[in-house]
Structure 1
Amino acid sequence: MLERIVYISAAREPQTEESVGRILDVSRSRNAANHITGLLIGGGAWWMQLIEGETDKLEPIWQSIRADPRHDPVVMVQRRAVRQRSFTGWSLQFRDTDDEEFGTLLEELTGSIGDPRLRKQVRRFADVFLKPGTKLPEFGAD
């Protein structure tokens, strides 16, 4: 069964460009080997990740994420079966909030997501945790 997990976490320590690069290298390699796709959005202490894949491959990765001492808490926002992937071809796409025109980037990254509730969750995360005061583009109906 194909599933998607969406979670939010807080880094216990500030992350550097180098430490994020190491996380991305390991995660992309692991995800590609397990046919996991997803999106990671980070800014400051807060991170949101959306991962999707077959349950038997996704569950060990989810348990590894939950056990990782670099972040706490890890709060699951959504876990559900999906009919198709939203992030086909992305072993782990990443954007941080230092990117110029974050709203445009977020729209580009999430524009292909067919589930309007998921798009809305990503937008809410960005509104609350990443860019306070930044007006993000509308993604369509709720």
Structure 2
Amino acid sequence: MLAQLVYVSSRKNTCNDFEIEKILAACQKNNPHVDATGVLLYSQDKFIQYLEGEAKQLLALFDKIKQDPRHEKVRMISYGPIKEKAFPSWHMATKKLSKKDVDYKTHISLQDKKIFAQLLQGEQPEASKVLSMLKQFFD
């Protein structure tokens, strides 16, 4: 079954930009083997990652992610079946978020800004809004 999984976590102070490059390199090396794709948004203190692939593979990958010492307070925001991948060719795309001001690439409503703020806090917004919210950073 094809599925999506979204989590948010707190980035540890010891996780510098070089560590982010290592995360991306590992994703690009390992994700094709399990046909996992997705996006990673990060700031000085948060990670938000959207993953898509086979459900069992995603859960196994999430178990590994939870053990990564570069972050803590890992919280699943969304998990469920999907009909098709939103990012079929991206084994992992990344976007750095400014701590002070998020640079939205498209028009975003006040409601969507509120939903994104909830995501950053690890609160579970409407599951149907998670993907559309994250896509706004990459369209």
Deviates more, 1:26-35 or 1:86-95: 26-35
- Give the drift of 1:91: 0.2
* Alignment-derived partner of residue 91 in structure 1: 91
Instruction: Quote the Cα distance in structure 1 between the aligned partners of 2:41 and 2:133.
Output: 12
- Give the drift of 1:7: 0.4
1:1-142 matches, cutoff 5 A: 1-98=1-98, 102-104=103-105, 117-119=129-131, 121-122=133-134
Instruction: Quote the Cα distance in structure 2 between the aligned partners of 1:95 and 1:39.
Output: 8
TM-score scaled by structure 2?
A: 0.73
Contact kept? 1:14, 1:45, Cα under 8 Å: no
- Structure 1 residues 38 and 105, CA, compared in 2 at 3 Å: closer, same or farther? farther
- Structure 1 residues 103 and 83, CA, compared in 2 at 3 Å: closer, same or farther? same
- Structure 1 residues 13 and 106, CA, compared in 2 at 3 Å: closer, same or farther? farther
User: One-letter code of the match for 2:85?
Assistant: R
- Structure 1 residues 76 and 97, CA, compared in 2 at 3 Å: closer, same or farther? same
Q: Which runs of 4+ in 1 moved over 6 A?
A: none
Instruction: Quote the Cα distance in structure 1 between the aligned partners of 2:15 and 2:8.
Output: 16
- Give the drift of 1:117: 1.5
SS at match of 1:104: coil
5+ residue gaps, structure 1, are: 108-114, 124-135, 138-142
5+ residue gaps, structure 2, are: 109-126
What is the alpha-carbon root mean square deviation over aligned residues? Answer: 2.8
- Structure 1 residues 25 and 4, CA, compared in 2 at 3 Å: closer, same or farther? same
Same amino acid, percent of matched pairs: 21
User: One-letter code of the match for 2:105?
Assistant: T
Instruction: Quote the Cα distance in structure 2 between the aligned partners of 1:85 and 1:4.
Output: 8
SS at match of 1:38: strand
TM-score scaled by structure 1?
A: 0.71
